[in-house]
Structure 1
């Protein structure tokens, strides 16, 4: 038997023993397929996007073209990563930006903070889920989107109320483990609780 310290989640021996890799942003690429993703060159990124971790995600993993369950990310279209002006009536973010448009989510706009690298959901009005911060990083956001999509797909197949409740709790806990603050945003669980 292999020494436990030498096991990596992806190793053959680890899989034989039942170890599973922790969730990762690349899981979304596995779910949606490579063709759904667009990677960017440094020259294609806005000058105001100075967060190095976000730049690495955009030039490495990339961003998907996605329209599912109220979340729309249009990485292949014009206007993606366009600068976004924060609405005066909206909840103020902790950062001063600049902010860049990633897509739409349940009526709100999803933006990337070019300085801090956080992903925020700017509600269009008082309807829908509360919460501005949905992920502390772009990589965390993609990881949580993958988990959220899988959870929604499983949820659609579950019949019993107890099982649906247990699944919601599990999804909420897993999101929290990825991002303790962003994972608590109501946006992640809203569809599961309001069917």
Structure 2
């Protein structure tokens, strides 16, 4: 009786689909959630870049107000633009600015990193833009948002909360936070209107 029963069970294919689906389900859900997360991250990144450019333009066009008020204009503008994307719990948007006299001093002179250490070392070939015979790094001025005609670099860090926390370990974010950064460099108006 048991041999006949085992033979019947071996030929019975009911339930095979459920078992196969249970094996495939975790990989399929991870792939679907990862795709959604990636698309959401790309959208958030694009919105952040537009928000930073828009906020920087608003801050450079209002030199009549003091730096604290201009900084608040930037924060409010980026916060409004990024309202559809949740920030990680306990974290906030941060804005870093650097002021330069002109565009040429806002970027370091390019060089060939011969030893691969990620920084310029004496003797490595470089492009001497200003023809002064030495390699020049960025030359920042004092101040947060600069004055008339100054060039300002705005970098915004947005700590985006992941939609699917378990996807974080696949994208290198075990704490559920995906930090997005966007930078723009603009020149302040040359003249303050009165």
TM-score by length of 1: 0.27
**Larger relative contact order (CA 8 Å, sep ≥ 6):** 2
TM-score by length of 2: 0.27
Larger Rg: 2
